[in-house]
Amino acid sequence: MSPIKIKKMKKVAILFSAVVFIGFTSCNKCHECHADVNGAEVELGEYCGDEAEDLENSGYIDPADSTGTVHVVHCGEDH
């Protein structure tokens, strides 16, 4: 192989590795979230990344509940 081909192959390999690395690190994991409202599970839909974490941290207020009670939220299957 000529030195030019080897240099070109190295550049392609480095570029490919960088693209793969960026692709894996920029993924947001999405999870189905639900709230525990008076013993019942209320599905809230799918949330990704910081949105899911913020929802779990802040909780869920049922719009039909006039008391303003904040309910516990779980996202993902590990809860």
> What pLDDT digit, counting tens, does each position of 55-70 carry?
999 999 988 888 889 9
Asked if the structure places residue 14 within a domain, the reply is no
Answer yes or no: is 39 within a domain: yes
Q: Please provide the size of the chain in residues.
A: 79
**Of 27-31, 36-40, 62-66, where does mean pLDDT reach its minimum?**
27-31
Within a 10 A sphere around the Cβ of 73, how many other Cβ atoms? 21
pTM of the model: 0.57
With respect to residue 17, please indicate whether it lies within any of the assigned structural domains: no
How many separate domains does the chain show? 1
Closest Cα partner for 73 from 53, 28, 29? 53
Query: What domain range is 39 assigned to?
Result: 30-75
